[in-house]
């Protein structure tokens, strides 16, 4: 299972379409205040975060997940506009496992979803 913290409609559609094509189970969390409880309840193999999202507070989520002994082993992957070097640096400082530019994320989406689906 893959949990997505993505409020960008275009990327939500891309992820949903790719997941459906390969049969990956995904869940979109839409409320920032319930993210950690959703991660705790669903125990996803991967959490995908749109690092450009202001609504979902992805940097806070990463830091909280990586600081929690029960959750810190969950793989986190963020995508971001390549021009936001400061956001990339802050995500790495918060403990994210992988950061990709939006274009690289789009290009590798099928591979990312398949690998997370087989990691469970």
Rounded to two decimals, what is the model's pTM? 0.93
Class of domain 2-118: alpha beta
For position 118, what pLDDT does the model report? 60
Mean pLDDT across the chain: 94
For position 120, what pLDDT does the model report? 45
Extents of the domains making up the chain: 2-118
Sheet holding 26-28, edge to edge: 26-28, 2-5, 46-50, 75-80, 98-101
Could you give the dihedral angle defined by the CA atoms of residues 112, 67, 49 and 114, in that order, rounded to the nearest 10 degrees?
20
pLDDT tens, residue by residue, 45-61: 999 999 999 899 999 99
Residue 119 vs residue 78, higher pLDDT: 78
For position 32, what pLDDT does the model report? 87
């Amino acid at each position: 299972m893959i949990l997505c913290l993505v409020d960008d409609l275009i990327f939500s559609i891309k992820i949903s379409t790719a997941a459906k094509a390969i049969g990956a189970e995904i869940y979109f969390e839409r409320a920032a205040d319930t993210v950690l409880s959703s991660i705790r309840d669903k125990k996803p193999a991967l959490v995908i975060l749109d690092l450009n999202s202001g609504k979902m507070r992805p940097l806070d989520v990463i830091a909280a997940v990586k600081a929690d002994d029960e959750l810190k082993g969950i793989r986190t992957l963020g995508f971001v506009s390549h021009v936001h070097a400061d956001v990339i640096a802050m995500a790495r400082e918060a403990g994210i496992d992988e950061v990709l530019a939006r274009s690289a994320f789009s290009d590798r989406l099928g591979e990312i979803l398949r690998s997370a689906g087989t990691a469970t």
